[in-house]
Structures are given as structure tokens and as C-alpha cells.
């Protein structure tokens, strides 16, 4: 913006702050607004758990997501109509997170990643990952969910906010595309920084201002459209270039991670068989190529009925590696390999297994992860949601220890003694 433009925007923001009917006083300073952050976060945790456990269902009405979005839509005028983007539209079959299980899982993974993020870059990476999924009908309106998780990183999104942003900056943001939203986000950050003393760290303030402008509440002067549009195109091209680079890097990392994940599962398979256990490989991984054959070669083709008789059977089937006693088919040990994926999801699967078997407390459960992820593992254990973890014999097994000792344990070990010796207990640090 030119100095003249900066001046009139600043004057307009001052006028907006003083307007008793504008969103600054009626919504942003509303005491109940802050209270809703906590409840919406809890609601999104419920959505994630239902998607993970395959109990979310195939309809918006009556779902945990409807409860969350309804709470957002009640946030006075700024979020009026926020539920429209999530309503099931049967003729268009959008948004396609109700009938397509893969898309639903991707949406849950997106929410989980954002819920656990401790850096702004993680949010952007999660958005790029969701965008690559190309879920029909699920666009930047989902940013409204993220705003209530990270209000200082993610601005809200709706038609009026976009109109207001275009009017104030001279940009040409279009609805429905994540790259356009991310470019707008950069512009909003710059706008917020330029008028920080009048706005807030919380992007709800600048979003409320843009909403009121976009709703036609305040007339705007004529501006240099050509220069503004050029700046907008530069922002958009930069975002698209970043997205392309991120996609390329993500594909490379995913390929490497997948290989490493399979390799670690193979080590655990071979070690379990060498120690005389029956071995289960996650149902979705068994056909992966490994050591000239399949990863599930020599392993069980189905879990014992005692492990599949409860409601978490599908979750348990996805645990990376399970060792079972040959005679009794009791679970001796279970392993979740978390190379780059969420530590949170691995712990949840372990808890489902523990709570679904008789005498689950005291079993041996291991999170197997790179040495540099030990901090992530311990941080997740510290979450209040995992207070039950303290009752379980849940341990962290670093890659380096497994790599360096597995052959010796396989050759000279018996039972779990060798594995327990190289794993790190978590319980004493809670």
C-alpha cells in the first residue's frame, strides 16, 4: 500500500473500533467469545476421535462436526452461515467427507495435525497436505475451524471477509481455493502488522474489520487498482510456488518415510519370529514388499477373536506389529512405528488395544520412533487426554537401539528381556 492508502485504512480502522454497532465491539470484545475457544477445541478433539474410530458416520446432521460448526456459527455476525460449507449437499455430493472414508480420514488427519501444531509452519504444511487430497467441496471455509485452534496464526474466512480484503487491498481473491486463501492470509498478516496498534495479535480483529467492510458498512475511496492487483498476483504466485515446492518435498519425504516405516516393521517381524512369537502385521501394510517377499510373510492372517470382539477391532487391526504367545494367543507386546506420523494416533491405538483385552494393564506396549522424536513422544504423553497411559507399561524404543541390538537379541535373547532392556520407560517421567 502507498502511504496515502495506509493513512485512510488506519483512519477507517479507528472509525470501526469506535463504531458501537461494528463487529469490534459486538463480537471481538464479547466476553463469551473467548470461552468458546475451549469448547470448540474439545469438540474438534471429539471429531478426530470419531473419525479415527470409524464412528463418525456418513451424515452431517447429528454428527460431532455439526455440534462444533453450530457453535462457530453462533459467534454472532462474523461467522453467520459458517455451517453452509459443511452441510451435506446430496445433488453435488459435497463436501465429500461423509461418503468417502479415505477423504474423511484425510480430514481427520488435517484436524489432528493442526490441533497438535506448535509452529505456524505446521499449519501451512497441514493445509497444503489437505489441498493435495483434492476433496471435493472442502475448501478454505475449514479455516474457520483452525481459527479457534490458533487465532494468532489463522484468520477466519467467509465471503464478506474476502470482499472486504479485496476492497481494502485492491486484490482479487476468489472463493474456494486454498492457495488464494494462503495468499490472502499473507496480505492479512501484512495489514495487521501495519495497523497492529489498532488491531490485535488475534486475527479475529482484522477479520472482523474486513467483514464489516465487505458487508458494505463503510464506503471506500477510489484506489490504484493496477498496482494493487499486481501486488496480489505476486503474493498468489509466491504461495503457489511454495505449495509446489512443499508438495515435491512432501512426496519425497513420504516415500522415504514409507520405506523406513516398512523396514522397521520388518525388523520387528523378524525379531518376533526369532523369539518364538506369532506376529501380526497391520492389515493395511501386510502386502507391502519386504526382503524379496511380502511384509506379512510368516505372520498371522487374522487376529484372535479375543482381540476383535470389541468396538475397537478396526483400530487394533491397524497397529503396526503385535507379538502373541503361540499357545494362548495372548498379546505379549505391541509396537507402533511413528517415523513421521502423529505420535498421538499411535498412543490412541495402543490404548484401544489395552482397554479391549482382559488384563490389558501391564502389557508391554512400545512406540518405536527416530531418536530425534523422543521429545515429541514425551510431550504427547504429558497431554491430559492420556492420563490413562500412566497405568500402562508403555515405552519408547529408539530406532538406534533397535538397529544396533536386534540381531543380538534374536540370536541370544528369550522373551521380552532384551527388548525391555533397550526401551526407555515413560511412566517415571510423567
Q: For 279-333, how does the pLDDT look when each residue is reduced to its tens digit (9 = 90+)?
A: 999 988 899 899 999 999 999 999 888 887 665 677 788 889 999 999 888 889 9
> Which letter does DSSP use for residue 109 in this model?
H
187-191, 259-263, 364-368: which has the minimum mean pLDDT? 259-263
pLDDT at 155: 96
Residue pair 336/349 in contact (Cβ under 8 Å)? The answer is yes
Return the axis-axis angle of helices 204-214 and 159-169, rounded to nearest 10°.
80
Q: What is the distance, to the nearest Å, from the Cα of residue 99 to the centroid of all Cα atoms in its chain? A: 20
Residue pair 37/152 in contact (Cβ under 8 Å)? The answer is no
Residues near 238 by beta carbon (within 8 Å), at least 6 away in sequence: 183, 186
Task: Pull the grid cell for residue 365.
Answer: 506396549
For 74, phi and psi rounded to 5 degrees?
-80, 0
pLDDT at 305: 83
99-108, 109-118, 200-209, 337-346: which has the minimum mean pLDDT? 337-346
CA distance 228 to 232: 6
For 103, phi and psi rounded to 5 degrees?
-65, -40
Task: Pull the grid cell for residue 248.
Answer: 515435491
Residue pair 398/367 in contact (Cβ under 8 Å)? The answer is no
Question: Does 75 score more than 80 pLDDT?
Answer: no
Strand extents, DSSP E, 341-390: 364-369
CA distance 19 to 187: 24
What average pLDDT score do residues 48-75 get? Answer: 86
pLDDT at 347: 75
29-38, 269-278, 354-363: which has the minimum mean pLDDT? 354-363
Q: 40, 39, 18, 38: which is closest to 29 by C-alpha?
A: 18
Task: Pull the grid cell for residue 341.
Answer: 506420523
Which position has the higher pLDDT, 75 or 179? Answer: 179
Domain ranges of the chain: 3-249, 254-429
Question: Does 428 score more than 50 pLDDT?
Answer: no
CA distance 37 to 55: 25
Beta-carbon neighbour count of residue 231 at 10 Å? 16
Q: What is the pTM of this model?
A: 0.57
pLDDT at 430: 36
Task: Pull the grid cell for residue 156.
Answer: 477466519
Query: Residues 131-178: pLDDT tens digits?
Result: 999 999 999 999 999 999 999 999 999 999 999 999 998 888 988 899
Per-position b or e across 32-49, b if 16+ CB within 10 A of its CB: ebeebeeebeebbbebbb
CA distance 64 to 72: 13
CA distance 333 to 276: 13
CA distance 192 to 159: 19
Amino acid at each position: 500500500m502507498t502511504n496515502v492508502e495506509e493513512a485512510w485504512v488506519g483512519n477507517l480502522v479507528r472509525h470501526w473500533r469506535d463504531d458501537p454497532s461494528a463487529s469490534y465491539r459486538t463480537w471481538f470484545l464479547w466476553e463469551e467469545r473467548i470461552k468458546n475457544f475451549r469448547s470448540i477445541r474439545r469438540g474438534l478433539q471429539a471429531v478426530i476421535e470419531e473419525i479415527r474410530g470409524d464412528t463418525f458416520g456418513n451424515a452431517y446432521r447429528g454428527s460431532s462436526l455439526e455440534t462444533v460448526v453450530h457453535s462457530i456459527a453462533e459467534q454472532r455476525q462474523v461467522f453467520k452461515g459458517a455451517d453452509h460449507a459443511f452441510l451435506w449437499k446430496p445433488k453435488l455430493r459435497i463436501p465429500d467427507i461423509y461418503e468417502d472414508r479415505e477423504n474423511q480420514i484425510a480430514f481427520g488427519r488435517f484436524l489432528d495435525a493442526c490441533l497438535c501444531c506448535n509452529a505456524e509452519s505446521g499449519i501451512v504444511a497441514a493445509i497444503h497436505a489437505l489441498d493435495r487430497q483434492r476433496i471435493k467441496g472442502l475448501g478454505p471455509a475449514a479455516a474457520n475451524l483452525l481459527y479457534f485452534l490458533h487465532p494468532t496464526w489463522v484468520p477466519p474466512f467467509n465471503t464478506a471477509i474476502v470482499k472486504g480484503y479485496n476492497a481494502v487491498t485492491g486484490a482479487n481473491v476468489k472463493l474456494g481455493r486454498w492457495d488464494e486463501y494462503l495468499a490472502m492470509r499473507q496480505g492479512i498478516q501484512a495489514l495487521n502488522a501495519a495497523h497492529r496498534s489498532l488491531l490485535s495479535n488475534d486475527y479475529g480483529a482484522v477479520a472482523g474489520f474486513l467483514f464489516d467492510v465487505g458487508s458494505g458498512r463503510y464506503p471506500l475511496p477510489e484506489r490504484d487498482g493496477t498496482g494493487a492487483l499486481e501486488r496480489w498476483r505476486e503474493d498468489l504466485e509466491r504461495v503457489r510456488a511454495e505449495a509446489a515446492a512443499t508438495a515435491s518435498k512432501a512426496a519425497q519425504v513420504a516415500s522415504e518415510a514409507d520405506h523406513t516405516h516398512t523396514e522397521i516393521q520388518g525388523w520387528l517381524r523378524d525379531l518376533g519370529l526369532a523369539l518364538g512369537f506369532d506376529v501380526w502385521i497391520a492389515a493395511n501394510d501386510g502386502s507391502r514388499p519386504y526382503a524379496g517377499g511380502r511384509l506379512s510373510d510368516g505372520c498371522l492372517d487374522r487376529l484372535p477373536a479375543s482381540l476383535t470382539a470389541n468396538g475397537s477391532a478396526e483400530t487394533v487391526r491397524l497397529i503396526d506389529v503385535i507379538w502373541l504367545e503361540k499357545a494362548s494367543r495372548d498379546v505379549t507386546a505391541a509396537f507402533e512405528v511413528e517415523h513421521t506420523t502423529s505420535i498421538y494416533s499411535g498412543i490412541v491405538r495402543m490404548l484401544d488395544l489395552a482397554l479391549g483385552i482382559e488384563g490389558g494393564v501391564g502389557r508391554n506396549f512400545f512406540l518405536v520412533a527416530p531418536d530425534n522424536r523422543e521429545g515429541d513422544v514425551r510431550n504427547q504423553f504429558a497431554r491430559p487426554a492420556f492420563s490413562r497411559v500412566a497405568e500402562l507399561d508403555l515405552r519408547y524404543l529408539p530406532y538406534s537401539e533397535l538397529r544396533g541390538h536386534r540381531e543380538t537379541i534374536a540370536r541370544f535373547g528369550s522373551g521380552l528381556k532384551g527388548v525391555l532392556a533397550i526401551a526407555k520407560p515413560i511412566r517415571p517421567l510423567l
